[in-house]
Amino acid sequence: MILLEDVYFAYDGLYTALQGVSLQIDDGERIAIMGSNGAGKTTLVKHLNGLLRPDRGRVILDGVDTKHYSVAELAIQIGLVMQNPDHQLFLDSVEKEIIFSLENLGSSKEEAKERCEQTLNSLGLEGLSERSPFTLSGGERKRVALASVLATEPRVLSLDEPTIGQDARQKEKLAKMLRGLNEKGKAVIVVTHDIEFVIENFPRTVAMANGRIVADGPTNSVLSNNDVLSRCSLTRPQLTETARSLHSIFPEVPERLTLMDDLEKVVVKVLGGG
Amino acid sequence: MSFLEVFQYTRQDSVIHRLDPRAKLFMSIVLAAVSLLFLSIIPLLIIFICLVPIIGAAKSLRRWTRSMKGLSVLLIFIMIFNTLLSTQPNPFSHSVALTLRLVALMTSFSVFFLTVHPDELSQALIQMRVRYEFAFAMSMAMRYVPTLGQEAYAIMDAQKARGVELDKGSLLKRIRNIVPIIVPLIIVSIRRALSIAESMESRGFGSSEKRTYMNVLKFRKRDWAVVIISLFVLIFVVYVRLFVQLPTWMLWQIPV
Amino acid sequence: MTLIEFADFSFKYLGADSLALRKVNLKIEEGEYVVVTGPSGCGKTTLCRAINGLVPQFHRGYIAGNVIVDGKNTRENNVADLAPIAGLVFQQPENQLVTLNVEREIAFGPENLGVEPNEVRRRVEELIDMLDLEHLREKHPHEMSGGEQQRVAIAATLALKPKVLVADEPTSNLDPQSAETILDLIADLNNRDMTVVLVEHRLDLVSKDASRIVLIDKGSIVADGAPRDVLTMDLCQEIGVGIPKATQLYKRLQERGFELGKVPLTGAELATLVQEVTKG
């Protein structure tokens, strides 16, 4: 559905951010993009909706090169929620914020109002529609920004660091919401450092370093690969640490476990057997 | 805009860099004053020739030449403009002199800005009895300007991703489209300012009139030398200008 | 010696609907490493700011009860007078570096309080050495990574020689590697007898070093004790606090009838405990 074909990009022609990146994203996928700061994650995601255009290579949406579309046109299909919600909130009510996005992308007033209500409900923001976003808490503002993009029902939703500053419960709710979107056939792409969040919710991980894709595949295998982890400056997930520690004492325990259920089974076996 | 380069601080070690900023300020002002006292080509050329080694001593000749090159188009334009509008008997000569004077003025001040670090400037102002809060506000502004710039770009990206089209539409529409950029920028800046204030307050800012300074500027012999020499030059030039009849060759003008 | 004492302390921000902190009672002794955690909006940030007086001097509102820090009442002393006792490190590194280079940043605090210039210089050198900042000495904040900036922010706070370091989610905006480095630094400072109060969500990284965990929910302290006791409470899950995965696994095994003896806080501890059980 979206294809990045050997994309090269340098900021100001000087600072190379992407070096030959190729990636395919299909409808309904859930992908996490991980890597150290400066690896090119956000740069990559900004190529999806045209905020940045490749210096070399192409970005192809449904068979058409995105260079034929403006950012606003692409925004209809590809939503991007940036890291800091305060970078986009400027109206005096939550409702107006969401309607603003909808009207920009072509909705009529009635349609906009209805979709706005639906979206607010789905994110637990009902009752806040008249409030000024500036009076809301940080977490609430993040959800309003998310709502304003969700309301436009893009085919692909990309989020840049959605879990920063969120507590465990908020992350769970976010994960649930993203899965729900996925079930409706939307693709969800997340740029994040939160390795636990990725392991629990994203089947596919793209690991980047120095503007290149180092690994692209099932999360469990990508994020338990030591070589990938060190090249992309990622810290080992907690459960993998546990698995490694267990493995050094009980060689029958696989080193590369990432899921709680799997680890539990293995430990029970070790204990039951002992 | 590359001509602004000549007013940017460069981190270097030179004789001029090591002088006290207050001495340099005085020197620059004297140099500028001297440039302003003349309107004939030869004296201005002499002044100009004296300025170049000072720039050289500041190890900034290359930067200065680059700036001058960048400025050359503007200078030619100024020259032509002045020639056409001048009421002097020899308009071209007059405008060449004016242009030379402009270059001399710029170079005089660039000596200061090239060699004085913003913190030094701040400290100099404080020691010249400017209130600490003002001097500090100035350096903080410099500190956060790049941050603010980045923030503005991030906001533009965020709004573009929502379908706001910043570069299309009628003039009226484009002006209205500034609102989604300016409002978040102001709000974000206010939030940032509060956060910065908390950090500063937590470290005792504004608490004591008896604030101390780790890097105190002290005048040394070489700084006094610069000040005294500059003073003499100023007195000498003023005297010459007021009381001495300049020889004819100094008043030479470009033949029409 | 009790360094910080909250006595029936309540606070409501001006214009807020509800109390941010309700009748909080808390004592922190010298040398402790206290981790404070809880769901978003629970009051942990307010707690931090109440220790150095920002609440109520900078953030006005309704206040009741007292906070005594090293014998000084925060309601009766200026933030500046409390600064040499409680140093606060905040979440955003960018907003804590207000000068154009590291030396000046570290000097900023002591200069503000009128410390004699030679002493200021001495402290700057000491901290640059202690926190490994030599390679950053002349750098502009813009030229540093988030982790480096936060390191400098900590140095700038330590320049006032506080007795307690209060850090409010210092790693939230950092990548995981930088986060670990900063938390290691904090643990190291505690080993050198600095009292630490740290607000942190990543309990897996800090509970092994912490001497105590305090849980806050809706402005009240709902749990306060040793990490191994607090993290096994069901309360954690109820209020939405994420415990270390090793501890989670321990609880799951417990539910299945397997008892490991001690509560593990890390994967390594869990492995050792499993080993001991299988041997015995």
The 10s digit of each residue's pLDDT in C190-207 is: 999 999 999 999 999 999
Q: Residue B2: what pLDDT?
A: 65
d(CA A14, CA C91): 31
- Give chain B's residues under pLDDT 70: 1-3, 256
Whole-number Cα distances in Å, C86 to A32, B146, B199, C161, C187: 40, 31, 12, 9, 17
- Give chain C's residues under pLDDT 70: 280
* Residue of chain C nearest B211, judged by CA positions: C114
Q: Do the chains contact at A88 and B165, CB–CB below 8 Å?
A: no
Q: Residue A273: what pLDDT?
A: 52
The domains of chain C, with CATH numbers, are 2-241 (3.40.50.300), 244-280 (no CATH)
Give the domain range for residue A244: 236-274
Same domain, A82 and A130: yes
Same domain, A190 and A251: no
* Residue of chain A nearest B187, judged by CA positions: A86
Kindly report the CATH number assigned to the domain that includes residue A11: 3.40.50.300
Give A-chain residues touching C252 at CB under 8 angstroms. 260, 264
On whether the CB atoms of residues C132 and A125 are closer than 8 A, the answer is: no
Let me know the angle formed at the C-alpha of C128 by C124 and C130, rounded to the nearest 5 degrees. 115
Listed in sequence order, the residues at least 6 apart from B154 whose beta carbon sits closer than 8 Å to its beta carbon are A82, A84, A87
Same domain, A152 and A251: no
Q: Residue B15: what pLDDT?
A: 86
A237-271 confidence digits (pLDDT tens): 898 889 989 999 888 888 888 888 888 888 888 88
Q: Is A260 on the interface with C (CB under 8 A)?
A: yes
Q: Residue B1: what pLDDT?
A: 58
Domain boundaries, chain B: 2-116+218-251, 123-201
Minimum distance, in Å, between the CA of residue C136 and any CA atom of chain B: 15
Burial class (CB in 10 A: 0-12, 13-18, 19+), A215: buried
Same domain, A223 and A257: no
Q: Is A201 on the interface with B (CB under 8 A)?
A: no
On whether the CB atoms of residues A97 and A135 are closer than 8 A, the answer is: no
Q: Which of residues 190-249 of B touch A (CB under 8 A)?
A: 191
Q: Do the chains contact at A260 and C252, CB–CB below 8 Å?
A: yes
Q: Do the chains contact at C271 and A248, CB–CB below 8 Å?
A: yes
On whether the CB atoms of residues C55 and C46 are closer than 8 A, the answer is: yes
The tokens of C117 are what?
């210039």
φ, ψ for residue A211 (rounded to 5)?
80, 5
Q: Is the pLDDT assigned to residue A274 strictly greater than 60?
A: no
Name the residue type at position A222. Answer: V
- What does DSSP assign to residue C28? E
Residues in chain A: 274
d(CA A266, CA C252): 13
The tokens of A36 are what?
């150290």
Q: Specify the number of domains making up chain A.
A: 2
Q: Residue C41: what pLDDT?
A: 86
Does residue A210 sit in helix, strand or coil?
coil
Q: Residue B256: what pLDDT?
A: 66
Same domain, A218 and A241: no
Same domain, A195 and A229: yes
Closest CA to C137 of C147, C268, C148: C148
d(CA C69, CA C85): 8
d(CA C181, CA C152): 13
Whole-number Cα distances in Å, A24 to A41, A42, A68, C124: 15, 16, 19, 52
Minimum distance, in Å, between the CA of residue A264 and any CA atom of chain C: 7
Give C-chain residues touching B202 at CB under 8 angstroms. 52, 54, 79, 83, 87-88, 157
Question: In DSSP terms, which residues pair with A118 in a beta bridge?
Answer: none
Q: Residue A14: what pLDDT?
A: 79
